[in-house]
Amino acid sequence: MSIQAGEQMPSGSFGVMTETGPGAMSTDDLFSGKKVVLVSVPGAFTPTCSMNHLPGFVDQADALLAKGVDTIACMAVNDVFVMHAWGKDRGVGEKVVMLADGNGDYARALGLELDGSGFGMGMRGQRFAIVVDDGVATHVAVEQPGEFEVSKAESILEHL
């Protein structure tokens, strides 16, 4: 069963790139005492993710922050090096924290994994956005296959 609004986010950790190389960020570090928009994409450098989903959150970062969001984070089942390179390629700067869910453990803990084997992608995370307030999911927007509506930045802004 997938995470629902009103439920505590599962514990876990993500790979992040630091000034000294690969590091880790726990869910406590990410969510504790903060309002966070956690965005998940099926894969870095894939068309919808690169051209629309991530750039939408970069473009709307100021509007999201103005609505009380402390952190915008983007996760994908990719390694930390790919997520870092993708963030640089898309010009996220300090606007979006790029999180590597390398083995898909966090997507699985959320109940939001996606079998992309038919596309040669293996297990991935579904396309979604979750608003998290101090570790509790307050809004969960999961896209139907092939869709891109409920998890885009403009839709999340309407729910803040």
List active site positions. Answer: 49
**Count of CB atoms within 10 A of residue 159's CB?**
15
98: nearest Cα among 8, 23, 20: 23
Q: How far apart are CA 109 and CA 102, in angstroms?
A: 13
Contact between residue 114 and residue 42 where contact means Cβ atoms under 8 Å apart: yes
CA within 13 Å, CB half, 35: 14
